[in-house]
Structure 1
Amino acid sequence: MSNHIVPSESETGLAELRGDCARMAPHWVVPAKTAPPRVTPALIHGVTVPPASARLIDATAEYGD
């Protein structure tokens, strides 16, 4: 009786995907990071946010800080 564990199909697929990505990584070109130009607050007007959306964003602020 063998104790050999056969990987599940999803594990095999993930391993294959990782291998494919590792082989392709040298071919990917990463552009230089450039920050978008800042918009002065004076130019921002007419934006309205529904109260429910504002509460949602306010509640998730700890994740973006």
Structure 2
Amino acid sequence: MTKLKAPVPAAADLDGGLAALRGDCARMAPHWAVPDRITPHPVSPSLIHGVEVPNRSARLLDAMSEYGD
């Protein structure tokens, strides 16, 4: 039986398109380890510091009913 080789994309086509991206992902999938279960650890509020929200963003969120009511 003859082994067929996949076509090599042209050198100028750096992106390769969606089909090439899907092929790359399929080849990489076995290399990605997925944990059985992810358990988030609580973070103490005292460790959360240095977060600054611009006034414009705070006013925008305050004006939205989902966030302000």
Higher helix share: 1
- Shared fold by TM > 0.5? no
TM (normalized to structure 1)? 0.44
Higher relative contact order (CA closer than 8 Å, sequence separation 6+):
2
TM-score normalised by structure 2 residue count: 0.42
